Amino acid sequence: MTLKECKKEEKADREFQKKFKFEGSIKVLTQMMVDPAVTEKRGGGKNLPLRRGEILDVIQFTSQEQFLCRNSQRRYGYVPRAVLLHL
């Protein structure tokens, strides 16, 4: 990873922590897959855009209905629990 990529990731992480009021270090709890049968959804506000079969990193179990996740483009947002499958 180059220095430029590293700084870009650090900036994205700081923005995430500010937007979601997340304290502490960012740790991946588990990885889950978006259900291939679900329709693709655009993100909006604090929701993460979803693509069928995409693998997401779960950062925090926020409630029974949604999780805080990160996708492969290092974008963060909430994802409904109903559309996630265990790997």
| 12-47 tens-digit pLDDT | 888 889 998 988 888 999 999 999 988 888 878 889
Angle at 16 between CA 29 and CA 3, to 5 degrees: 90
| 51-84 tens-digit pLDDT | 999 999 999 998 899 999 999 888 899 999 999 9
CA distance 38 to 51: 9
Cβ-contact 84, 56 below 8 angstroms: yes
Could you tell me the residue ranges of all domains in the chain? 3-86
Cβ-contact 74, 84 below 8 angstroms: no
Write the class of the CATH domain 3-86: mainly beta
CA 49 to chain centre: 9
Instruction: Report the predicted TM-score, pTM, of the whole model to 2 decimal places.
Output: 0.85
